[in-house]
Chain A
Amino acid sequence: MIVFDRVSFTYDGAARPTLRDVDLRIGEGDLALVVGRTGTGKSTLLGAMNGLVPHFTGGTLSGAVTVDGRTTSQHRPKDMAEVVGYVGQNPLHGFVTDTVEEEIAYGMEQLGVDPVAMRKRVEETLDLMGIAELRRRPLLDLSGGQQQRVAIASVLAAQPRVLVLDEPTSALDPTAAQDVLAALTTLVHEVGLTIVLAEHRLERVMQAADVAVWVTGDGTVESGPPRSILGRADVVPPLAALAHTLGWDEVPLSVREARRRIARERITVAEVADAPVPDGPPLLSARDLTVSYGDLRAVKGVSLDLAGGTITALMGRNGSGKSSLVNALQGAVKSTGELVVAGDVDPRSLSAAAARRRVTLVPQSAGDLLYLRTVAAECAQADRESLAPAGTCATVLARLDGGVRPDADPRDLSEGQRLSLVLAIQLTAAPPVVLLDEPTRGLDYRMKANLSRIVDGLAADGACVVVVTHDVEFAAAATHRALLMAEGEIVADGTTREVCGSSPAFAPQLAKVFAPQPIMSVREVVVT
């Protein structure tokens, strides 16, 4: 269905090719999972499938990409529309109209589909993706999972044979991600589409994959059965880590497979016990904290105490008020109720510069903080803003990530490097409370492990860290305590093991594999 024949691709002005001599075949009706570290060219590979690379991005492509008999060298992306449906990283950025129904019809209008056929296809597509009840809703009002399904529906309506998705679940909470994946599996199994998708959180999708395509990082691509490719790849989801630990050569793709093999091989693991959560005087305490936007109450009377030296995960579905809560704890959004940091001050009463030395927040879109031309300039500005001795920020940055060049443009950095830079800027003020809002978005496993080390270091120095995350595996591996939010209230509070281990949606894969043993990460797997 999709054939890459000796494809190489170099972006304009790049020193070395992003893709090099790629030979790849993806069969009809397969679900192909593209894996690889951040910045290795996964998106480039996906874009090459419908001609966005190179027609839209520029650059030089040699070799031939053929999809369903059409080569991208002879067809522009718009001529590939009824062969390849392409859904980009952020569905909201790709929407052209403003209601669900019109968005689905848009592609067909452009293709000049007969109105009678169009009317029928829109209804079919609404039913197929299970979004019929949303048809008249404005796109902006939809939740992340719904938007993603509408985005998929909007390319499906033109009846492509291949669907290409770039990180379709990266911004979604576990339940919404499950909805989207269920829809995709239906498309593969019931409709017979060929699907290619890139993803960082492999644990979510690998059980559905027929083929794994590993973008190795030097421009080459290896493809094959997911069990063996994942055993070799440099991206290591929890089950692959488990396979490495247990010396298995094939990676189990699902919790069920892993459980069966463990039962068959009679593997037992040592009991795990939590180190006690550091219990000092609270560094940050809130009483009856409420955040309202107009008549909408995003956070409803939350009370909590956070001690120094702890790392707390704040979880919950999209829209449960997590970001509002951390923003309120920093004083960045208005809130009512009591808020005390480090025993004596309310950050809301302080100037922005003073508040930042007590509580710092790395927001979801970390790039919003950056506006200068070079990394060095951003660091110097951060030193001035924090009244810190010159060079402080650069030192912090060097500790977090040695690979960031001072003369680089902050906007050209990779996701991981940009996060390191923003974190360094925010830590320059040496605040006792550090709040991180969705820091793991777009990070691969190695970067997440690095982030986990950074956060551990902060906690060891006595800081209180709160991480808002959808990433169950990261929370399980990196945090002591977990708070679960729903509808603006905290509904569960305990050690991460208690809160996540017992929840079907938020349990990490290893806890499910070793249930009833609440294993959180592969470090805790000790074979007895």
Chain B
Amino acid sequence: MTMEQIIPPILNLKILFPELLITVTALVILLYDLILSKDKKTTLACLGLLGLAVSLVYSIIMWKTGVSTYAFNHMIVVDKFTLLFNSLFIVASFITILISINYIKEEGVNYGEYYTLVLLSTVGMMLMAKANDLMIVFLGLETLSISIYVLVGFLRTNVRSNESSLKYFLLGAFSSAFLLYGIALIYGATGTTRLPDIARFIENTPSLLSNPLLLAAVGLLLVGFGFKIALVPFHMWTPDVYEGAPTSITAFMSVGVKAAAFSAFLRVFLTSFSTLRAEWAMILWILSVLTMSLGNLVALVQENIKRMLAYSSIAHAGYILVAVTAGGDLAITSIIYYLMSYTLMNLGAFTVVILYGKRGEENIHLSDYSGAGFKYPFLSAAMAVFMFSLAGIPPLAGFIGKFYIFSAAVKQGFIWLTIISVLNSLVAVYYYLRVTVIMYMKEPIKDVGELSFSIPIVIALLITTFFTLHMGILPSDYLNIAKQSIAMLLL
């Protein structure tokens, strides 16, 4: 290893190409928007998709060549782990744009800023994953959050959308403060915000209890991340915000923001605080049980499908936390696989919600889906696939994800935690099944009218369905990718 240099700082801009490209695309969209007539905004979406596609290809090439390097004077790290997460965010963002094109048009908010904000929040996510320093984590988080605050309130004439934006902003700002306070205390305790240096310092700390400053710092960081991931008891905002936000943004938040927060959470806790894992794992054990159970139990009684998916996303964070609690390489592999599969199947479910919901969320209640099964056979079959996959029924992606998470927990001897998790997935089966019950077994109660199957949304539906099936039936490649991605992380 070379000594850390102070002058000149290694910028290494090349490895930040994906982020830079997306940022530039976002800015170009912002400017181009000014000279574009109102009915041609789809061009902007195409521009955004192009930018994302190029950075995806670039990220994949970097992943393949196995670059593992630092930039900005070790503030930023690029390895397979970060590149994989980056690709995941780009895919999530790509699909989000696909499902947004028609949606924002119908909702009458067809503004170019929408795409700019989606892209900028993607950059924020990517920075969070690439952070090698708590400051970058914070920077990424804020870039991400501020864009999302605006996006949540994007339906500016809609009271619910405004309400949820304000709610998310107030609570989000509060939680950012927690995170920042935690970072400050970490600096106070260890004298650095650089993750590897923190790890080196903590190696000599026998226990959290022996260093109250550190204890408080870890606690505050946990609260900060817990808020973004929507862990119980920091989940209160989730259902309201998810319900009020534009559906496309709800979809994006439920997968992208969550995955981004998890990527940073994993890196911070598994690299910096890894020697103290016995202590924080105990807290996570409790949090994961609470998160799963509350998410699933409350989802049971939801009548609004967006709210139901909001609670289900809380529960899924709980499952992932099971693997974090368990620890070990299998656990991290399983988390990565789970996030990949969850991203695709959940985006798929939201795609159906958008398509079926129509303008102004006309059909957003579960009962609106009654009789859809035989009226729209392919759309409903896709929804059934997503629901069964979210419920963890083989041979779909969600099952493999759950299977590996449970494997990881059993491997580390967390038998009771596994049993609680499987019982939770049993509860979850009920409400996912309910969607299929309503679609296939109930008579239609109202005329939903014609659905507009626009090309982008159909593409999104096909992509998500394909991967939900493919990742379930032939998971080997994906698992391999996940496995290779963590090889560096655990060194």
Note whether A and B form a binding pair.
no
Residues in chain B within 8 A of chain A (CB atoms): none
Interface residues of A (CB under 8 A from B): none
